Amino acid sequence: MSLQARAEIEVLGPPVARTAIVPPPGSGAAARRLGVLPMPKLEWNAEVERSTAHLYEKIKAVVPPVEWPFFAPYVKAINELKQKRNAVILAHNYQTPEIYNCVADFVGDSLQLAREATKTKAEIIVQGGVHFMAETSKLLNPDKIVLIPDLLAGCSLAASITGADVRLLRERFPGVPVVTYVNTSAEVKAESDICCTSSNAVQVVESFGTDRVIFLPDEYLARWVAKNTKVKIIAWKGHCEVHERFTADELHKLREGDPSLQILAHPECPPDVLEEADFTGSTSAMSNWVKRHQPKRVVLVTECSMADNVQTENPNVEFVRPCNLCPYMKRITLPKILDSLVYLREEVEIDPAIAARARRAVERMVQLKN
Ligand code: SF4
């Protein structure tokens, strides 16, 4: 374990970068109970064009007309199958526009999605997002069937730490409370006292009234929290491979080209990138900021699809790239969502003992927020 001391933050981490962990396939219990449906016929014809025209209208600024004949048959089939299956689709802000705008029932950040899903009477949840998000949905909706359309939709941040790592940290810092970001596996949440999101991280850290808190696993979010609190932060060297690629230099050059450009950055970005930003916040906070301020030109320093999705709701704002693609989020596609609904796979299953402890950590955060 390497160690770098800071005035108000101490960063620990694994000696080598971990790659995303592939979870085991579901047991198939949901498919055995509810049965597999026939695969719908997928073709582009006048009826498909007519019945999906209102959906294409929403995304025409970001999806060229030549692509719609491929997407539309899937959109129609998925929306019909949702009714048959009594299912809803949750789409994270980083999902592609045709998923986010045309088949999703709820959109937002990971926690918003899981909480929204608790209010629906649907029996099945299909997660448009990555595996830790599907686990969070399952934690908050234990009686529902939660499906992830691709088991390889992982996350570099969630893969950076294991439950065993958290237990070792607890041994090393006895009595120090453990806060984990929601971008973690259920196993890691189960070893934590409470979870947090990028929007409530400082509030959660200060809720203990202690002088030190272990904050896992995102190093840059931890540094951002440390800057905004007097509590000493013991952090972990986990990084989001999408946000860590941005540089202060590229933003500096953009600003030089247009001093009126508004720069909005996610707190998973490195500290020098956040220094260049006019606003730092979660995906939902960035989206709300654009809606409220309606800037002439803006750059969202985060995953690429975010700008496409916010653009559909703010047609008068010009969105300047750069952006970086998340390879895990992009594993979720319309054909895979359709497969999920037809075959009811892959079902997210969490060991009940782990689920009970992980749910407690998430619910503590939710209670704190209220
Ligand atoms: S954007 Fe980063 S934190 Fe989000 S799923 Fe992709 S790798 Fe994980």
- DSSP letter for each residue of 339-352: HHHHH--PBP---H
**pLDDT at 160 > cutoff 50:** yes
pLDDT in tens, 246-280: 999 999 999 999 999 999 999 999 999 999 999 99
In the reported structure, the alpha carbon of residue 240 is separated from the centroid of ligand 1 by a whole-number distance in angstroms of: 5
Contacts of 283 (CB under 8 A, 6+ apart): 92, 93, 94, 108, 109, 266, 302, 306
Q: For atom 5 of ligand 1, which residue has the closest CA?
A: 155
pLDDT in tens, 197-239: 888 899 999 999 999 999 999 999 999 999 999 999 999 999 9
- For the segment 11-33, the average pLDDT, to the nearest whole number, is 76
Q: For atom 2 of ligand 1, which residue has the closest CA?
A: 240
Judge if the beta carbon of residue 303 lies within 6 A of ligand 1. Answer: yes
Strand partners, 124: 87, 145
Cα 319 from chain centroid (whole Å): 21
Judge if the beta carbon of residue 134 lies within 6 A of ligand 1. Answer: no
Question: Rounded distance, CA 4 to CA 165, Å?
Answer: 17
Single-letter residue type at 199: S
Determine the pLDDT at residue 26.
80
In the reported structure, the alpha carbon of residue 154 is separated from the centroid of ligand 1 by a whole-number distance in angstroms of: 8
Contacts 24+ apart (CB under 8 A), 281-284: 281/198, 281/199, 282/109, 282/197, 282/198, 282/199, 283/92, 283/93, 283/94, 283/108, 283/109, 284/93, 284/108, 284/109, 284/112, 284/199
Judge if the beta carbon of residue 133 lies within 6 A of ligand 1. Answer: no
pTM: 0.92
Question: Rounded distance, CA 153 to CA 151, Å?
Answer: 5
Judge if the beta carbon of residue 241 lies within 6 A of ligand 1. Answer: yes
In the reported structure, the alpha carbon of residue 316 is separated from the centroid of ligand 1 by a whole-number distance in angstroms of: 28
Domain ranges of the chain: 1-241+327-370, 243-325
Longest dimension (CA), the chain: 66
Q: Which fold has domain 243-325?
A: Rossmann fold (3.40.50)
**pLDDT at 182 > cutoff 90:** yes
User: Please, which pLDDT band fits residue 8 given cuts at 50, 70 and 90?
Assistant: confident
* Closest ligand 1 atom number to CA of residue 183: 3
Judge if the beta carbon of residue 242 lies within 6 A of ligand 1. Answer: yes
User: For 1-241+327-370, which CATH class?
Assistant: alpha beta
Question: Rounded distance, CA 366 to CA 64, Å?
Answer: 40
pLDDT in tens, 108-150: 987 788 778 888 899 999 999 999 999 999 999 999 999 999 9
Q: Which two tokens stand for residue 267?
A: 């707190």
Confirm if 117 and 144 have CB atoms less than 8 A apart: yes
Domains 1-241+327-370 and 243-325 share a fold: yes
Determine the pLDDT at residue 6.
46
In the reported structure, the alpha carbon of residue 198 is separated from the centroid of ligand 1 by a whole-number distance in angstroms of: 13
Out of 92, 152, 155, mutate this one to test ligand 1's pocket (max ligand atoms within 8 Å of CB): namely: 155
What is the residue whose two structure tokens read 């995102």?
218
Determine the pLDDT at residue 3.
39
Q: Is 290 exposed, middle or buried (0-12, 13-18, 19+ CB in 10 A)?
A: buried
Angstrom distances, CA of residue 159 to CA of 16, 21, 130, 164, 346:
12, 6, 12, 13, 19
Angle in degrees, 0-180, between the axes of helices 334-343 and 68-85, rounded to the nearest 10? 20
pLDDT in tens, 40-99: 999 999 999 999 999 999 999 999 999 999 999 999 999 999 999 999 999 999 999 999
Judge if the beta carbon of residue 329 lies within 6 A of ligand 1. Answer: yes
Determine the pLDDT at residue 4.
42
Confirm if 28 and 345 have CB atoms less than 8 A apart: yes
Among 308, 300, 258, which Cα is nearest to 100's?
308
Determine the pLDDT at residue 18.
61
User: Please, which pLDDT band fits residue 15 given cuts at 50, 70 and 90?
Assistant: low
Confirm if 95 and 308 have CB atoms less than 8 A apart: no
What is the residue whose two structure tokens read 């390879």?
327
In the reported structure, the alpha carbon of residue 8 is separated from the centroid of ligand 1 by a whole-number distance in angstroms of: 26
Contacts 24+ apart (CB under 8 A), 209-215: 210/176, 210/177, 212/173, 212/176, 213/176, 213/177, 213/178, 213/179, 214/169, 214/170, 214/173, 214/176, 214/177, 214/178, 214/179, 215/179, 215/181
**pLDDT at 12 > cutoff 90:** no
Question: Rounded distance, CA 179 to CA 220, Å?
Answer: 15
pLDDT in tens, 310-361: 998 999 999 998 889 999 999 999 999 999 999 999 999 999 999 999 999 9
2 SS3 class = strand
Q: For atom 3 of ligand 1, which residue has the closest CA?
A: 240
Determine the pLDDT at residue 321.
83
**pLDDT at 28 > cutoff 90:** no
Judge if the beta carbon of residue 183 lies within 6 A of ligand 1. Answer: yes
